[in-house]
Each structure stands twice: as C-alpha cells, then as structure tokens.
Amino acid sequence: MQDIEAVRAALRAQRIETPSWAYGNSGTRFKVFAQEGVPRDPYEKIADAARVHALTGVAPLVSLHIPWDRVDDYAHLAAHAHEHGVRIGAINANVFQDDAYRLGSVTNPDARVRRKAVHHLLTCVDVLDATGSRDLKLWFADGTNYPGQGDIATRQGYLAEALAEVYARLGADQRILLEYKLFEPAFYMTDVPDWGTAYAHCLELGPRAVVCVDTGHHAPGTNIEFIVAFLLSRGRLGAFDFNSRFYADDDLMVGAADPFQLFRIMHEVVRGGGLDPAAGVNFMLDQCHNIEPKIPAQIRSVANVQEATAKALLVDAEELAAAQRAGDVLAANAVLMDAYATDVRPLLRELREEQGLAPDPVAAYHASGYAERICAERVGGTQAGWGA
Ligand code: LRH
Ligand code: MN
C-alpha cells in the first residue's frame, strides 16, 4: 500500500501553470464568442490566474504569449503578478500570425522572413530575462499543404539553424521547450510533427532543449504515456501542454474527454520521477474555453490534474513491479485499475481544507462574487483574444 503521507505531500507540492490566453476570448474559424468580464490586458489576465491559484493552491504560475501579452514593462508585469501571489512562467513565442508567415516562419523559403522570425524568438528571450522566467516555449505552425510545396530536408536545415541561434542566446538557467504537433494549420506536412522530430532537434541543440508534450497534438490512438515514459527516461521531458480532445486539437479541459488517458500519463510521470521538481517537468495547461466560463473551467482543469495525479500516486508500485516481474498480466493491470477506480475527491477536499482552502474550489469561485465583480468592472476597452 502507498504511504499516504507521501501521497499527500506530493499533492501539496504539485505546481500547475495556467495559460494567459485561456482567460481571453477564443474560438474556432467559425466563430469567437465574446464573454462578459473577459480581461482587456495581461494585467487582468494575471489577476484571473491569481484567482485560480487562490482557490486551488497549486497554480502559482502563468504562461504568457507574445505578442498577445506584449507590455511596455515586463518587469512591472512580473511585479504585478508577484503582488497577486503568482509568478510569470513560460514565455510563448508567436511566429504563426504575421502575414509574412504565410509560407512559414523559421522555415520560410525567403531568408528575410526567416530572419524576421528568428528576431522575434530572440526578443522573447529578452522577455525571459525581464520576467525571470526559465522556459521559452517554441511551437511552429510551419508546414505545407500540398506535396512538393516545400523541400522537407531544406526546411529542417533552416529550422535547425534558427533553433541553434536561439539556443546560443539562452541564459545559463533558461531552456527551450520545443513543442510538436501533427497537423493544423498545415494539412500535408508539419516541420515539427511528432515527438521524435522534437527529440532529435533537442539532442542536437544541447541539454537545455527539452520537449513539450501537448496532449492534443497526436494522431488518434497515439500512446502518449509511452512518449512521456521515454522522454522522462532520457531527461528530455520538459513540459506538458495539458488539454483534452475527442477528435483533433480541440483544446478542451484536460481530463474532460479522456480521464483514463490522463491517469495513464500521470502514472508514467510518477513512475519516472517526473513529479520531483528536480526532474524539471513544467505542468502547463493549454486550453481554450470557447463556450464555457473561463475561470471556473481553469479551476476544474486544475482539479482534474490533481485527481489524475492522486490516483497515479496511489498505484501500489511494489505490487505492480512484482506482478510485472512475474508476468502476471491480469494482476499487473488490476493494480493500475484499482488505483484508477479510487475516488480521490475526499482526499483532495481534505488537503484543501488543511491548507485553509474551500474543499470545492469551483463552488467557492461562484460564491465569491468575483465573476459579477469583473463583469461590472471590465466595461469598455477591447477584450483580449487571439487576435487571429
Ligand atoms: C498550438 C498550441 C501552442 C500555442 C497555442 C496557443 O496548437 O498548442 O502551444 O502556442 O496552441
Ligand atoms: Mn500547446
């Protein structure tokens, strides 16, 4: 049986990073439904993220996306975050929305466009310096829509050149999180389509280049926990972009579409020592709340990660290893299913109460009047969004 005190300690020490863009308006190509009370600037986004942390106790970090979160003074924004009890986490570069990037950013056939893209990536490292953040997250929309449109090997060369230049600019404690994605917006070939390509580029770059696993970026049926176990065993699992999906990159609440998959992923994280801060795994959410209220959705998502983590921590590792060594297929599977079938909500409610938090953070949010307050205050100005 697992040492329940160790389980509680691990859950108390869990740290989840929420994305600034989840608090702004988002949608699909069909429609972006604006919602009342949505932030108008990064300061208000951080205030909302701080509310999520205040109610869950485990979400003290906020990811920024540049230029969506561009401000004149990033150190001032970091101080604002600090005043609200949170810190600025990963900085996301954006080389997928400028008109110049129609045929790609760092892999564009036009050297001037590649230059422009690399320049943006380097300015994002300046933001890391200003906010004191560790992680620069790089996701490239780069790809092609038709066979023959681009030369795959040439583009990989351009990509490696750009990554090497950014890597050389990093400070001693800064990292590149290289995120992969199978498709969209490119529909024939994506230049960083899978974990293997990301891993290969990271090996070429150096030890401070690690892979970001976005749970919505795989082909249907992909065993994501295998990727997690492999990257963790090689010290190259840098981060998660947690969300869930039924079909493609749906960016739904993590654990909503497939809570069993999230449990299996967290089981490999726990088994591989990934919960230990020394492992350097950044647990981030990357979601869009297109139709649901954003702050309670973020709170629910954080709780979903906590629940999957608690179940994974309850896996009887010794019993599992013994059954695996014995080749006892059913017994080994049963160990995992027993943990998964455990209702961990009472344990999490207790932990929250011990930390002086409400047992049900979503209910506490609704009772707090925060939603009504921001709807009343945030009148006028331009609501934040993807600017797409
Ligand atoms: C791309 C992605 C990436 C972010 C964006 C908001 O699909 O997952 O992580 O830049 O979403
Ligand atoms: Mn992502």
Ligand nearest to the CA of 141: 1
Q: HEC states along the chain?
A: CCCHHHHHHHHHCCCEEEEHHHHCCCECCCCECCCCCCCCCHHHHHHHHHHHHHHHCCCCEEEEEECCCCCCCHHHHHHHHHHCCCEEEEEEECCCCCHHHCCCCCCCCCHHHHHHHHHHHHHHHHHHHHHCCCEEEEECCCEECCCCCCCHHHHHHHHHHHHHHHHHHCCCCCEEEEECCCCCCCCCEECCCCHHHHHHHHHHHCCCEEEEEECCCCCCCCCHHHHHHHHHHCCCEEEEEECECCCCCCCECCCCCCHHHHHHHHHHHHHCCCCCHHHCCEEEECCCCCCCCHHHHHHHHHHHHHHHHHHHHCCCHHHHHHHHHCCCHHHHHHHHHHHHCCCCHHHHHHHHHHCCCCCCHHHHHHHHCHHHHHHHHCCCCCCCCCCC
Q: What is the pLDDT of residues 344-375, one digit of tens each?
A: 999 999 999 999 999 999 999 999 999 999 99
Identify the band that residue 2 occupies on the pLDDT scale cut at 50, 70 and 90. confident
**Residue identifier of the C-alpha nearest atom 11 of ligand 1:** 286
Average pLDDT, rounded, for the chain: 97
Q: What is the pLDDT of residues 268-294, one digit of tens each?
A: 999 999 999 999 999 999 999 999 999
Q: What is the pLDDT of residues 318-332, one digit of tens each?
A: 999 999 999 999 999
User: What percent of the chain is modeled with pLDDT above 70?
Assistant: 99
Which atom in ligand 1 lies closest to the alpha carbon of residue 288? 6
Residue 1 has pLDDT above 80, yes or no: no
**Residue identifier of the C-alpha nearest atom 6 of ligand 1:** 286
355 CA distance to ligand 1 middle (Å)? 33
Average pLDDT of 249-277?
Answer: 98
Q: Is 268 in the pocket of ligand 1 (CB under 6 A)?
A: no
Q: What is the pLDDT of residues 140-155, one digit of tens each?
A: 999 999 999 999 999 9
Average pLDDT of 45-73?
Answer: 98
Ligand 1, pocket-test mutation among 18, 92, 183, most atoms within 8 A of CB? 92
Q: Is 249 in the pocket of ligand 1 (CB under 6 A)?
A: yes
Residues at Cβ < 5 Å from ligand 2 ion = 214, 241, 286
Average pLDDT of 229-249?
Answer: 98
Quote the tokens at residue 371. Answer: 């939603």
286 CA distance to ligand 2 middle (Å)? 5
User: What percent of the chain is modeled with pLDDT above 90?
Assistant: 99
Model pLDDT, residue 386: 85
Which atom in ligand 1 lies closest to the alpha carbon of residue 92? 10
Average pLDDT of 43-69?
Answer: 98
Model pLDDT, residue 388: 59
Q: Is 241 in the pocket of ligand 1 (CB under 6 A)?
A: yes
Residue 265 has pLDDT above 70, yes or no: yes
213 CA distance to ligand 2 middle (Å)? 8
134 CA distance to ligand 1 middle (Å)? 18
